[in-house]
Amino acid sequence: MRLTINGKSHEVDVDPTTPLLWVIREQVGLTGTKYGCGIAQCGACTVHMNGLPVRSCSIPVSAASGAKITTIEGLASGKTLHKVQKAWIDHDVPQCGYCQSGMIMAVAALLRTNPKPSDADIDAAITNICRCGTFQQVREAIHAAAKAA
């Protein structure tokens, strides 16, 4: 099966029912995308499929074949960080950081469709779990990223 991840094409030999998450982590070897629950509850596994945020633990790899997939490793353009990543550094958002790949991917997708989200927009769109409780900094950083060019 052929997968396009971060602009690169990968040939993977897996059972087609394998969740996209585990193919990304174990076959392609990109471990920035995290496993937290496996049942679409926590958002730690969020990646972009054709620009839209998806919870990769709950999508069979067969459904991703042919799609354009972006993981946290492919969010920056070369050495230039994405504005969400920059805002995350400026606001010192991550605590343990384990949820943050998924959080950042979810936020990047939100800002693409809604460049200046209100607090209510954020509440509706960002439903990731963060056990460390970084939400206060996440919200500040989203607004800062929205202001950034």
Partner 1 sequence: MTAMPKFTRRSFLVSSAALGGGLALGLRLPPFGPGVVRAADGSPEITVWVAIRPDNTTLIRAVRAEMGQGTITGLGQLIAEELDCDWSKVEIEYPTPGQSVARKRAWGDFSTGGSRGVRQSNEYVRKGGAAARMMLVQAAANEWKVPASECTTSASVITHKPSGRRTTYGKVAEAAARLEQPKDVPLKDPKTWKIAGKPLKRLDTAKKVNGTMVYGMDLKMPGMLNAAIKDCPVFGGKVKSFDAARVSGMRGVKKVVQVGDSGVAVIADTWWNAKTALEQLPIVWDEGENAKVSSASIAEILKAGLDAEQAFVGNQAGGDVKTALADAAKRIEAVYAYPYQNHACMEPMNATVRYTPERCELWGPTQNGEGTFAQVLEASGLAADKVDVHNVMLGGGFGRRGTYPDDYVRQAVLIAKQMPGTPVKMIWSREEDMAHGKYHPVMQCKLVGGLDASGNLAALHMRLSGQSILASVRPEVVQAQKGRDPLSFQGVFESGEHSFSYTVPNLLIDHAMRNTHVPPGFWRGVNINQNALFIECFMDELAEAAGQDALEFRRKLMAKHPRNLGVLNAVAERIGWSRPAPSGVYRGLAHLHCFDSFVAAACEISVKDGNKVKVHRIVAATDPGYAVNPAQIERQVAGSFVYGLSALFFQECTVKDGRIEQTNFHQYNSMRIAQMPKVETILMPTGGTVWGGIGEPTICVAAPAVLNAFYRATGKRIRSVPLKNHGIELV
Nearer to partner 1 (CB atom), residue 7 or residue 133:
133
Residue 45 binding: pick among ligand FES, partner 1, none (C-beta 5-8 Å cut-off by kind): ligand FES
Residue with tokens 């490793």: 73
DSSP string of 96-116, one letter each residue: S-TTHHHHHHHHHHHHHH-SS
- Please report whether residue 41 would count as binding partner 1 according to CB under 8 A: yes
How crowded is residue 81: how many other Cβ atoms within 10 Å of its Cβ?
14
Give the chain's length: 149
From residue 67 to residue 96, what is the string marking binding to partner 1 with x (rule CB under 8 A)? ----xxx-xx----x---x--xx--xxxxx
How crowded is residue 18: how many other Cβ atoms within 10 Å of its Cβ?
16
Nearer to ligand FES (CB atom), residue 76 or residue 132:
132
For residues 91 and 88, give the distance between their C-alpha atoms in angstroms, rounded to a whole number. 5
- Contact footprint for partner 1 (CB under 8 A): 15, 18-19, 22, 25-27, 29-39, 41-42, 44, 71-73, 75-76, 81, 85, 88-89, 92-101, 104, 122-124, 126-139
